A = this chain, B = another copy of it.
């Protein structure tokens, strides 16, 4: 059969997005996803912890984010370090080639409460990673937490803007603009 074809995880993710678009998340079965990818339920759960996780690439971003923030120039403010970190993540994960898939993925997530819940958890992980990176720079705890929270907000805004447009801005440029907008708004509270 289709055994031993490469990129099983990616094939499963694509099949999942297609099926979620067609029938919705809840009306789609793991077995159906696996079948469309030429695989079985067993193999699905070998690649993903659960049904939701097929749309979330694990937590590979967290480590990169921590390192990039910790490694930002010593003179950088917390916000600048966060921007550097998100930029680094963008270079690794949000390339021009993945833009269209990102938009479809976002629409599918928005349509399912269960997937939004998982996305909220990923947001917490992202915030925790940024807080961690900032703390390693010697930033006081509460300041780090707030900077990370604003960074996560900017990231969400940037991801939305970036995946929904077709101009040539790369993710780094978009996220820096979003972070700047967020900081201006925070001064107006």
In whole angstroms, what is the CA distance A150 to B79 when docked?
15
Asked if A153 CB lies within 8 Å of chain B CBs, one says: yes
Q: A149-B153, A153-B149 are in contact. Are A188 and B143 (CB under 8 A)?
A: yes
Taking a contact as CB atoms under 8 Å apart, the answer to whether B79 and A146 are in contact is: no
Interface of A is mostly: helix
Q: Which of A15-23, A90-98, A179-187 contacts B (4 or more CB under 8 A)?
A: A179-187
Q: Which of A29-37, A61-69, A116-124 contacts B (4 or more CB under 8 A)?
A: A116-124
Other-chain residue from B117, B183, B188 in contact with A189 (beta carbon distance below 8 A)? B183
- In A121-166, which residues have CB < 8 Å from any B CB? 121, 123-124, 140, 142-143, 145-147, 149-150, 153
Minimum CB distance partner of A123 in chain B: B120
Q: How many copies does the complex hold?
A: 2
Asked if A172 CB lies within 8 Å of chain B CBs, one says: no
In whole angstroms, what is the CA distance A189 to B140 when docked?
11
In whole angstroms, what is the CA distance A116 to B120 when docked?
10
- In A98-124, which residues have CB < 8 Å from any B CB? 116-118, 120-121, 123-124
Taking a contact as CB atoms under 8 Å apart, the answer to whether B185 and A143 are in contact is: yes
Taking a contact as CB atoms under 8 Å apart, the answer to whether A186 and B186 are in contact is: yes
In whole angstroms, what is the CA distance A78 to B181 when docked?
17
Closest 8 pairs between A and B when the two form their complex, measured CB to CB:
A120-B120, A117-B121, A146-B185, A142-B185, A147-B189, A143-B185, A79-B189, A120-B121
